[in-house]
Amino acid sequence: MKQKAAASAPGKVILFGEHFVVSGRPAVVTAINLRAKVEVVLENDKTIFRSRQSWSSWSRKGEPVHPTPPKTSSFTPLYMMASKIMEDHGVSSCFRAEIYSDIPGGAGLGSSAAISTALARALSNLFGLNLSTQRLVEYAMVAEKEYHGRPSGIDPHASAYGGTLLYEGPGKFQPLQLGISPEMLVVFTGLKRKTSDMVDQVVKLASENRREFGELSSLYSEVFVRSVEALKSNNLELLGRLMTINHYLLRALGLSNEVVEKCVEDLLRTGVYGAKLTGAGGGGSVVAVGRTNQEAAVFSLLSSYPKAWVVKTSCPGVRDEN
Ligand code: PMV
């Protein structure tokens, strides 16, 4: 057992297939260069989680010390995951976890999965468990289920494996080798929302409108097939057009709103090849792929949003840090 360890994991952008992936259709996800880092240090009698915004602690016996119930902590899913890792490996220890993340929460960029995956890897190192990447995903899913209800698992796979993945379900994915990993624009609308609420909304809509949902899913499947061709051949213009079509399908599922529409329209007006909401929708972020000679127009637009990035795609997955 070490005294301390650290790991980081990337956030992600879903390029195609959010929500459709929950009902079993394949999606395309790429790891981006916004990361969450977690440092863990052995402690004597308390387990503490701390981020820039807040902190929580549990006694050695597993009782919440701060905040005390009835208030629940946003770190509870992480504590549950850590407890499961320790229980499965016969470890009984207290630790402090310091979380540093570039990824805003509730923005559709995989913040919770990046933190869970980085924490699982840091604990694996701290306790000398040598957990495989797939085991890290499985543990991150423990926290994801607490945070999101019924996650497809796409986020922890992207955080753990990195790169660009064709993702169908837990353990069912293929890395996609891209000739060039295009840079993309990611704009956070500033509207945070809960993934589980948006997923429930779509599940309800799908069960009440089976035929229409089936038709939209079939249209999505065609977009998916062409998106893989576009990615493999580095055809960014086609990729952008397909992203915009995917956005319209998500809009038909009721996942857009005025704020998201304005953001997509603003981006399209600058001449990008395409733009779509990414993640659960209802706010969150918009991703766009564009031509470089539009940069001036794009940058002046980006400054009018709360947060925006030109991100690298196909970035490395979870890794150890000092
Ligand atoms: O907004 P995010 O990062 O939580 O992405 C959710 C993607 C969904 O397809 C809507 C849900 C899921 O678990 O796949």
Query: Mean of the pLDDT values across residues 129-146?
Result: 98
According to DSSP, residue 14 is labeled E
Ligand 1: centre distance to CA 307 (Å): 20
Residues 6+ apart with CB under 8 A from 15: 28, 29, 30, 164, 227, 231, 239, 243, 278, 287
CA distance 124 to 131: 6
User: Are the CB atoms for 250 and 263 separated by under 8 Å?
Assistant: no
User: Got the DSSP string for 46-67?
Assistant: EEEEE-SS-EEEEETTS-EEES
Lining residues, ligand 1, CB within 6 Å: 14, 18-19, 21-22, 108, 110, 151-152, 154-155, 195, 199, 279-280, 284
Sign of CA dihedral 2, 139, 192, 289: positive
Ligand 1: centre distance to CA 151 (Å): 7
Query: Mean of the pLDDT values across residues 153-175?
Result: 97
Query: Mean of the pLDDT values across residues 63-80?
Result: 91
According to DSSP, residue 162 is labeled B
Query: Mean of the pLDDT values across residues 197-216?
Result: 96
**Residue from 45, 88, 102, 155 carrying the catalytic annotation:** 155
Would you tell me the crossing angle of helices 133-148 and 111-126 to the nearest 10 degrees? 130
In the chain, what percentage of residues exceed pLDDT 90? 88
Residue type, 88: D
**Best of 13, 155, 200 for a ligand 1 pocket test (most atoms within 8 Å of beta carbon):** 155
293 pLDDT band, cuts 50/70/90, is: low
Of residues 175, 165, 173, 163, the one with CA closest to residue 317: 163
For residue 256, the SS3 value is coil
Position 180 scores a pLDDT of 81
Position 169 scores a pLDDT of 95
69 pLDDT band, cuts 50/70/90, is: confident
The pTM of this model reads 0.96
What's the token pair of residue 305? 């949003």
Count of alpha carbons within 13 angstroms of residue 39, beta-carbon side: 9
For residue 269, the SS3 value is helix
Query: Mean of the pLDDT values across residues 272-297?
Result: 90
1 pLDDT band, cuts 50/70/90, is: confident
Query: Mean of the pLDDT values across residues 289-303?
Result: 80
The pLDDT of residue 132 is above 80? yes
Ligand 1: centre distance to CA 122 (Å): 24
The pLDDT of residue 220 is above 90? yes
Q: Tell me which of 135-149, 232-246, 289-303 is least confident.
A: 289-303
User: Are the CB atoms for 14 and 93 separated by under 8 Å?
Assistant: no
Position 37 scores a pLDDT of 98
* Percent helix, strand and coil across the chain, each to the nearest 5: 40, 25, 30
User: Are the CB atoms for 83 and 62 separated by under 8 Å?
Assistant: yes
266 in catalytic set: no
**Best of 23, 154, 157 for a ligand 1 pocket test (most atoms within 8 Å of beta carbon):** 154
Strands 64-66 and 184-188: unpaired
Of residues 130, 118, 116, the one with CA closest to residue 2: 130
Ligand 1: centre distance to CA 50 (Å): 25
Residues 6+ apart with CB under 8 A from 300: none
Cα angle vertex 240, ends 239, 245, to 5°? 95
Position 278 scores a pLDDT of 98
What is the number of the ligand 1 atom nearest to the C-alpha of 278? Answer: 1
Integer Rg of the chain from CA: 20
Ligand 1: centre distance to CA 152 (Å): 7
Q: Tell me which of 38-47, 133-142, 185-194, 288-297 is least confident.
A: 288-297
Residue type, 10: P
List 311's β-bridge partners, or say none: 184
Tell me the average pLDDT of the chain: 95
More confident position, 179 or 143 = 143
More confident position, 53 or 8 = 8
